[in-house]
């Protein structure tokens, strides 16, 4: 791989999250909060509909980094700023994930600034991955 430079963009990823994906993730992560699968419950607590697990969106954004294959993701943080609302259809919610090199740190690790968008708006804030080559 050629030299990494600040500002380099990582390949984008587009993922459709369906209700089936939420059920599958709930089982894999052992996160059974009904706001992620029960429409009546979600609406009853003031949400527009069933929403994706923030941790699922975070994991999907992490794939931008792991697919890059440059090294181990040693530190990863994200803020969940807006919900990803998942309709009950076959298409689901389209989430667009991207990242760019934000800094090369003194210890040789690389800071990647990640972005996750749903309906054109950011759903993760301060999503930062540190990669050790």
DSSP code of residue 85: B
Give the count of residues interacting with other proteins (CB under 8 A).
41
Note whether 78 binds other proteins by CB under 8 A. Answer: yes
In the complex, the smallest distance separating the C-beta of residue 66 from other proteins, rounded to whole angstroms, is: 6
Note whether 114 binds other proteins by CB under 8 A. Answer: no
Burial class (CB in 10 A: 0-12, 13-18, 19+), 69: exposed
Stretch in the footprint of other proteins (CB under 8 A) among 4-12, 45-53, 88-96, 106-114: 45-53
Residue with tokens 């990647």: 112
Stretch in the footprint of other proteins (CB under 8 A) among 4-12, 67-75, 84-92, 111-119: 67-75
Distance CA(80)–CA(41), nearest Å, equals 20
């Amino acid at each position: 791989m050629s030299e990494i430079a600040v500002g380099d963009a990582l390949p984008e990823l587009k993922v459709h999250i369906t209700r089936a994906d939420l059920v599958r993730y709930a089982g894999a992560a052992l996160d059974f909060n009904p706001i992620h699968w029960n429409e009546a419950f979600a609406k009853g607590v003031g949400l527009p509909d069933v929403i994706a697990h923030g941790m699922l969106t975070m994991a999907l954004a992490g794939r931008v980094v792991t697919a890059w294959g440059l090294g181990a993701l040693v530190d990863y943080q994200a803020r969940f700023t807006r919900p990803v609302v998942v309709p009950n259809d076959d298409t689901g919610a389209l989430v667009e994930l991207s990242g760019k090199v934000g800094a090369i740190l003194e210890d040789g690790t690389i800071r990647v600034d990640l972005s996750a968008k749903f309906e054109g708006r950011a759903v993760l804030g301060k999503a930062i991955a540190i990669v050790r080559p």
